[in-house]
Amino acid sequence: MKYRWDNKSLILVAILLIGLLFALFGQITFTGFTFFENTYNFDDLPDNFELTKGEEFNLDIHFEPDYKFSDNTDLFDINSETGEISFTPEKIGDFKAVIIVLKDVDNFDYKLIEFRVVE
């Protein structure tokens, strides 16, 4: 007897595979889309992160459509369209960055985030 895959079974298998890839790699990339383990809505973004020198750090920040992202740090560059941050810290220490979401002069928000880089 052959098993026929219904939509619910396929979705369950896809979710399990994505979870496994996250557990193994911490990041999944499909054509045109990247999913990071550290994914937050802007309002839920933690105030601080601890990173390890020489290890890649990825962060994906979400906000309302039509907003652009920017930052004020030399530590990394945020993707202005997607809110993705991906970098490998090379210096140990405490660093601060302001993440800004901007639609126009009257519609913006910002958040101060601290990054502690350890050995």
At 83-98, the pLDDT tens digits run 999 999 999 999 999 9
Range of 1-10, 31-40, 100-109 with top mean pLDDT: 100-109
**Cα–Cα distances in angstroms (integers) from residue 45 to residues 13, 39, 42, 97, 111, in the given order:** 30, 9, 5, 13, 8
At 19-52, the pLDDT tens digits run 665 556 555 555 444 555 688 989 999 999 999 9
Supply the CATH classification number for the domain 38-118: 2.60.40.10
Q: Where are the domains of the chain?
A: 1-36, 38-118
The two three-digit tokens of residue 66, written as one number = 């039509």
